[in-house]
């Protein structure tokens, strides 16, 4: 065994993050580690990496019991970790980022040439191409991740821990990553892949360990399991991976009408949005499919902030039958418009503020919670209390800052808030990104329920499964235009993928 | 896990869910920092050849030794409450108001101008009118950099600093040319009419403690209500926390910025009431020992909370008064020690911020699982 954890236990105050975790990983394999947010998988990895010290249990590397006082000792033993958020210095070149902290010295000076020669060899050996002289902040995210991996290889790591490596990658970059990981495996490296995406576990790993509530609940051979079993193990109950959605009964009223929307690009480039026209009726879900960066963000900005400079240069937007093209955003929202924003930490929440205040965000002038400019704090509190219960936001603590909730619970909080106004129009953008399997099912159900209660839903997602499962009609965006439209059941995943690629 | 009973007082935290002991810590930390700053400052007087205990006694006696001394301390405290609140309100909107000095200058000038132009106006209309003029002038002087930031994108730090100079120039021009006091050699405006004076409390041995003091307490209360109990206050804090999230929620961040800086300006403008109507009876060029800039220190030490601002203003007011006696009572230190002490306290507060940041980071590290 290359890596073995025996009975690892770690407490933070009263919280037991790991309770007797056991794990065995063979040399030269990719081992999946899955579990919902907060299940303890990151804690276990941080124990292995020496960031924390275990309260009980032992760590064995190649059969030898080891204990580290700091990550430096773990690194010396050949363990490396790529964190979810990269640890890179933006303005420095790729080369300097690798040397940072491990500068090879010659006569007291940094020997860049020797380092570069060695790195070129490593890059060639593992097929990880790299532009060494570019500042890191100019590299695409996928390349930054390759750089993190090269950094570990440069430090002679033989055991690589990757924490949610695909969270920030595009589908193409994800594919490339897995090609690279297989190459690393073939060269004898051992890889621990921490993720909550079942697809990645199924395609990329040999064995998989499932965490739930601080414990290991199963260790399985990937070839002998399936996504359904893994999801059930992760959540601890039967999970519906694909929701059976009853057909919509659209009402005659229009929720959203967009006519010839256009957004100019920067001088000389193609428009970011052109001639986009569509309608969403109340009581139906219209999905917008497309590879990210094909105008979806611009479309939402045009619909929600039409008056702001640069957000809408041509066309008209009607919401609930009213021409809102010159309306400020706040007034549009008062028509009963709910929004699940694309980036929940940037646009959906005040991460440093308590849950109760986040629940109020956007509702601070609603008659329900305010009168003559003064807030009904008692009502806010009791409504937030109810919502947190109703939408199962955990933990049930209104004073906790929203940034401390897990991604799924943040999303549930946003949905609880947005549905508070009984929306007649719902804009849902990437509603399940970075969210646990259990929460995905929940969020999907709520969106369908909003539809059945009469909301017109515009769903923007880069997850094909999600688009196909929920949408009554599907619009495909490519280079700022709508290039195809389908009804539910009319299109296959493959065909949709081709349209998204501009075919 | 605590239940969802989030108490009001807990909401004023900077986002941490405050439980009992944490709350105590939140109050104790600035107090400790102030004590540390004072101790360092006194240690410096020892290096300079004084007995620190003696210096401390002089300070305490100077600030609190008699009814008059305490009155003067309160007199200095009052404008610091206004400017501290001014900086704090702007801060909650994510803005740095360096312009309180200019705003209070124009506030005082406006009050004095009203009183000089219409000296016959009778009480209580006269002070009301002059007070509103002070607020309006400050509000305008705050709204200008707010508008520039919101609609033109130029930074409020630069603009408020520049507007301070413009305000000072404008005030000098008015005091020296338009409303010059012919009976005085000093650069000041004509005195306001007798109907303008506001009540001075007799308790303080002749120190000019006027109705401006209760007005300051009222202002602190009003700011608390604004920030924590109104929709506008919520929007101000939302913009300060995350502009993008506020915008996505339908709040117009530009509008909120203008309103917040206008409010900040109005609060600073209130300084004019105590100075002109409650003390000098006219606008004197250079009457402010930089209350506007001390307001930044007050807000920082008071953690931008109205209650904290009151406490910090009292501390800085007492320092300002107490150090005045040093010139006479000691051989080696002068009243400029006041500035040194202020600086050291601010340094200690900032360093204290660093400590809590580090412990927060450790706590955050422990929470990621």
Q: pLDDT tens for residues A150-161? A: 888 888 889 999
- Give CA–CA dist A230/A34, Å, rounded: 9
Name every chain B residue with its beta carbon within 8 A of the beta carbon of A339.
Answer: 248
Nearest beta carbon to residue A399 from set B2, B237, B241: B2
The CATH class of the A251-336+424-503 domain is alpha beta
Mutation site for B-interface testing, chosen from A353, A393, A413 by largest number of B Cβ within 10 Å: A353
Task: Give B91 or A112, the one with higher predicted confidence.
Answer: B91
- Give CA–CA dist B66/A264, Å, rounded: 71
The distance of A321 to chain B (nearest Cα, Å) reads 20
Which run of H or E residues covers position A153?
Answer: helix A141-154
Residue B22 is predicted with a pLDDT of 60
The distance of B3 to chain A (nearest Cα, Å) reads 6
In which region does residue A290 sit, left (phi positive, over 0), alpha (psi from -120 to 50) or beta (all else)? left
The distance of A383 to chain B (nearest Cα, Å) reads 11
Q: Do B11 and A400 count as a contact with CB atoms less than 8 A apart?
A: no
Give the CATH number of domain B55-350; options: 1.10.8, 1.10.3470, 1.10.1060, 3.30.750. 1.10.3470
Nearest beta carbon to residue A374 from set B4, B16, B229: B229
- Give CA–CA dist A382/A420, Å, rounded: 13
Name every chain A residue with its beta carbon within 8 A of the beta carbon of B231.
Answer: 364-365, 370, 373-375
Mutation site for B-interface testing, chosen from A332, A399, A401, A429 by largest number of B Cβ within 10 Å: A399
How far is C-alpha A155 from the chain's CA centre? 29
Q: Read off the pTM.
A: 0.78
The distance of B94 to chain A (nearest Cα, Å) reads 13
Share of residues in chain B with pLDDT > 90 (%)? 68
Question: At which residue do the structure tokens 């209309």 appear?
Answer: B125
> pLDDT confidence of B14, banded at 50, 70, 90?
very low
Q: What is the ipTM of this complex?
A: 0.83
Name every chain B residue with its beta carbon within 8 A of the beta carbon of A304.
Answer: 248
Across A381-389, average pLDDT? 93
The distance of B16 to chain A (nearest Cα, Å) reads 6
Q: Do A17 and B229 count as a contact with CB atoms less than 8 A apart?
A: no
Residue B324 is predicted with a pLDDT of 86
Name every chain B residue with its beta carbon within 8 A of the beta carbon of A328.
Answer: 250, 252
Name every chain A residue with its beta carbon within 8 A of the beta carbon of B229.
Answer: 374-375, 377
Across B336-357, average pLDDT? 76
- Give CA–CA dist A265/A272, Å, rounded: 5
Q: Do A399 and B18 count as a contact with CB atoms less than 8 A apart?
A: yes
Residue-wise pLDDT tens digits, A104-123: 777 777 778 888 888 888 88
Nearest beta carbon to residue A40 from set B235, B366, B369: B369
Q: Do A364 and B1 count as a contact with CB atoms less than 8 A apart?
A: no
> pLDDT confidence of A288, banded at 50, 70, 90?
very high
Across A187-198, average pLDDT? 88
Residue B352 is predicted with a pLDDT of 60
Residue-wise pLDDT tens digits, B300-327: 999 999 999 999 999 999 999 998 888 8
Name every chain B residue with its beta carbon within 8 A of the beta carbon of A361.
Answer: 238, 245-246, 249
* pLDDT tops 50 at residue A463: yes
* pLDDT tops 80 at residue A83: yes
Nearest beta carbon to residue A42 from set B232, B250, B368: B368
Nearest beta carbon to residue B14 from set A331, A352, A360: A352
> pLDDT confidence of B355, banded at 50, 70, 90?
low
- Give CA–CA dist B19/B25, Å, rounded: 10
Question: At which residue do the structure tokens 């690393």 appear?
Answer: A184
- Give CA–CA dist A35/A150, Å, rounded: 27
Which range has the worst mean pLDDT, A56-65, B143-152, B342-351, B353-362? B353-362
The distance of B356 to chain A (nearest Cα, Å) reads 15
* pLDDT tops 70 at residue A19: yes
Across A359-366, average pLDDT? 93
Q: Give the B-side interface with A, CB within 8 Å.
A: 1-4, 6, 8, 10-11, 13-18, 229-232, 234-235, 237-238, 241-242, 244-252, 365-369
How far is C-alpha B328 from the chain's CA centre? 29
- Tokens matching residue B328: 């006479």
Residue A127 is predicted with a pLDDT of 79
Nearest beta carbon to residue A362 from set B15, B241, B249: B249
Residue-wise pLDDT tens digits, A407-460: 788 999 999 999 988 899 999 999 988 777 778 888 999 999 999 999 999 999
* pLDDT tops 50 at residue B108: yes
Residue B6 is predicted with a pLDDT of 32
Name every chain A residue with its beta carbon within 8 A of the beta carbon of B248.
Answer: 304, 339, 341, 347-348
Across A292-302, average pLDDT? 89
Share of residues in chain B with pLDDT > 70 (%)? 88
Which range has the worst mean pLDDT, A347-356, B260-269, B353-362? B353-362
Name every chain B residue with its beta carbon within 8 A of the beta carbon of A351.
Answer: 15, 242
Which range has the worst mean pLDDT, A148-152, B3-7, B153-157, B350-354? B3-7
> pLDDT confidence of B364, banded at 50, 70, 90?
very low
Mutation site for A-interface testing, chosen from B4, B246, B359 by largest number of A Cβ within 10 Å: B4
Name every chain B residue with its beta carbon within 8 A of the beta carbon of A365.
Answer: 231
Q: Is A251-336+424-503 in the same CATH topology as A3-235?
A: yes
The domain locations on chain B are 55-350
Mean of the per-residue pLDDT values of chain B = 87
Nearest residue of chain A to residue B241 (CA atoms): A350
The distance of B58 to chain A (nearest Cα, Å) reads 44
Q: Do B242 and A384 count as a contact with CB atoms less than 8 A apart?
A: no
SS3 content of chain A, % helix, strand, coil (to 5): 35, 25, 40
Question: At which residue do the structure tokens 């260790």 appear?
Answer: A219
> pLDDT confidence of B368, banded at 50, 70, 90?
very low
| Cα-based distances in Å from A233 to A34, A38, A192, A419 | 10, 15, 19, 30
Q: Do B10 and A399 count as a contact with CB atoms less than 8 A apart?
A: yes
Task: Give B204 or A174, the one with higher predicted confidence.
Answer: B204
Q: Do A373 and B234 count as a contact with CB atoms less than 8 A apart?
A: no
Nearest residue of chain A to residue B239 (CA atoms): A350
Nearest beta carbon to residue A385 from set B4, B252, B366: B4
Name every chain A residue with its beta carbon within 8 A of the beta carbon of B367.
Answer: 12, 404
The domain locations on chain A are 3-235, 251-336+424-503, 353-421
How far is C-alpha B45 from the chain's CA centre? 28
* pLDDT tops 90 at residue A135: no
Reported for B358-366, long-range contacts at CB under 8 A and 24+ positions apart, including other chains, are B360/B16, B365/A51, B366/A12, B366/A13
* pLDDT tops 50 at residue B8: no
- Tokens matching residue A377: 């704090």
Name every chain B residue with its beta carbon within 8 A of the beta carbon of A356.
Answer: 4, 6, 11
* pLDDT tops 70 at residue B185: yes
Q: State the fold for domain A3-235.
A: Rossmann fold (3.40.50)
Nearest beta carbon to residue B241 from set A328, A350, A404: A350
Residue B325 is predicted with a pLDDT of 84
Nearest beta carbon to residue A347 from set B3, B231, B248: B248
Q: Do B231 and A374 count as a contact with CB atoms less than 8 A apart?
A: yes
Share of residues in chain A with pLDDT > 90 (%)? 42
Nearest residue of chain B to residue A400 (CA atoms): B17
Residue-wise pLDDT tens digits, B57-71: 999 999 999 999 999
Name every chain A residue with its beta carbon within 8 A of the beta carbon of B252.
Answer: 328-330
Residue B274 is predicted with a pLDDT of 93
Nearest beta carbon to residue B241 from set A332, A341, A353: A353
Residue-wise pLDDT tens digits, A235-246: 888 877 777 788
């Amino acid at each position: 065994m290359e890596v073995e954890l025996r009975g690892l236990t770690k407490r933070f105050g009263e919280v037991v993050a790991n309770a007797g975790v056991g794990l065995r990983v063979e040399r030269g394999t990719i081992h999946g580690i899955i579990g919902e947010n907060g299940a303890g998988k990151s804690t276990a990895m941080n124990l292995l990496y020496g960031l924390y010290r275990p309260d009980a249990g032992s760590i064995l590397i190649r059969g030898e019991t080891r204990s580290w006082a700091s990550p430096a000792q773990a690194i010396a033993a050949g363990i490396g970790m790529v964190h979810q958020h990269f640890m890179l210095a933006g303005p420095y070149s790729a080369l300097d980022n690798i040397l940072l902290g491990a500068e090879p010295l010659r006569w007291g000076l940094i020997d860049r040439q020797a380092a570069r020669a060695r790195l070129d060899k490593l890059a060639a050996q593992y097929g990880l191409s790299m532009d060494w002289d570019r500042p890191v902040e100019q590299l695409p995210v996928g390349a930054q991740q390759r750089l993190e991996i090269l950094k570990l290889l440069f430090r002679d790591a033989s055991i690589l821990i990757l924490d949610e490596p695909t969270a920030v990658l595009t589908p193409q970059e994800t594919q490339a990553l897995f090609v690279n990981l297989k190459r690393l495996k073939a060269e004898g490296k051992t890889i621990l892949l921490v993720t909550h995406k079942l697809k990645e576990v199924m395609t990329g790993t040999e064995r998989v360990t499932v965490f739930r509530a601080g414990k290991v609940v199963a260790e399985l051979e990937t070839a002998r399991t399936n996504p359904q079993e893994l999801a059930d193990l992760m959540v601890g109950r039967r999970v519906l991976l694909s929701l059976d959605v009853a057909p919509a009964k659209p009402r005659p009223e229009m929720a959203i009408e967009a006519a010839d929307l256009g957004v100019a690009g920067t001088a000389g480039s193609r428009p970011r949005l052109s001639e986009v026209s569509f309608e969403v009726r109340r009581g139906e879900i219209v999905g917008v499919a497309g590879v990210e960066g094909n105008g979806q963000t611009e479309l939402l900005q045009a619909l929600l902030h039409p008056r702001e400079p640069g957000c809408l240069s041509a066309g008209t937007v009607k919401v609930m039958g009213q021409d809102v093209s010159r309306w400020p955003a706040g007034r549009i929202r008062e028509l009963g418009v709910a929004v699940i924003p694309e980036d929940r930490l940037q646009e959906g929440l005040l991460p440093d503020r308590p849950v109760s205040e986040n629940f109020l965000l956007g509702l601070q002038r609603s008659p329900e919670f305010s009168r003559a400019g003064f807030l009904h704090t008692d009502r806010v509190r009791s409504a937030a209390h109810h919502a947190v219960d109703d939408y199962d936001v955990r933990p049930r603590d209104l004073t906790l800052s929203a940034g401390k909730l897990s991604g799924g619970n943040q999303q549930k909080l946003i949905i609880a808030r947005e549905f508070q106004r009984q929306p007649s129009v719902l804009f849902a953008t990437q509603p399940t990104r970075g969210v646990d399997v259990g929460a995905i099912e929940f969020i999907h159900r709520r969106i369908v329920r909003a539809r059945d209660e009469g909301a017109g839903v515009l769903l923007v997602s880069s997850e094909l499964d999600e688009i196909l499962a929920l949408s009554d009609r599907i619009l495909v965006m490519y280079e700022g235009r709508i290039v195809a439209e389908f009804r539910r059941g009319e299109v296959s995943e493959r065909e949709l993928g081709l349209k998204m690629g501009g075919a | 896990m605590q239940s969802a009973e989030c108490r009001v007082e807990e909401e004023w935290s900077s986002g941490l869910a405050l439980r009992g002991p944490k709350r105590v810590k939140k109050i104790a930390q600035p107090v400790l920092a102030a004590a540390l700053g004072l101790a360092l400052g006194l240690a410096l007087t020892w290096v300079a050849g004084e007995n620190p205990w003696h210096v401390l006694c002089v300070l305490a006696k100077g600030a609190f030794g008699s009814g008059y001394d305490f009155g003067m301390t309160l007199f200095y405290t009052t404008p610091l409450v206004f400017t501290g609140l001014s900086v704090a309100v702007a801060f909650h909107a994510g803005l740095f108001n360096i312009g309180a000095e200019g705003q209070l200058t124009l506030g005082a000038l406006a009050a004095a101008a009203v009183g000089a132009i219409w000296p016959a106006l009778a009480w209580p209309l006269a002070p009301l009118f002059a007070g509103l003029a002070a607020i309006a002038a400050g509000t305008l002087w705050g709204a200008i950099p707010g508008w520039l930031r919101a609609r033109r994108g130029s930074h409020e730090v630069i603009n408020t600093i520049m507007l301070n100079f413009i305000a000072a120039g404008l005030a000098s021009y008015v005091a020296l040319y338009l409303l010059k006091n012919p009976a005085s050699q000093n650069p000041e405006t004509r005195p306001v009419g007798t109907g303008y004076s506001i009540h001075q409390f007799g308790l303080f041995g002749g120190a000019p403690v006027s109705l401006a003091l209760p007005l300051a307490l009222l202002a602190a209360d009003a700011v608390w209500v604004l920030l924590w109990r109104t929709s506008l206050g919520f929007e101000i804090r939302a913009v300060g926390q995350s502009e993008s999230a506020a915008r996505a929620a339908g709040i117009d961040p530009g509008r909120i910025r203008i309103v917040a800086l206008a409010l900040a300006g109005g609060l600073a403008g209130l300084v004019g009431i105590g100075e002109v109507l409650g003390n000098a009876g006219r606008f004197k060029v250079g009457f402010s020992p930089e209350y506007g800039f001390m307001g930044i220190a007050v807000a920082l030490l008071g953690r931008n909370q109205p209650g904290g601002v009151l406490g910090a203003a009292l501390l800085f007011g007492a320092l300002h008064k107490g150090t005045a006696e040093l010139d006479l009572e000691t051989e080696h230190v002068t009243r400029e020690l006041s500035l040194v002490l202020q600086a050291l306290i601010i340094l200690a507060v900032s360093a204290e911020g660093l400590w809590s940041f580090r412990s927060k980071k450790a706590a955050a590290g422990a929470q990621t699982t």
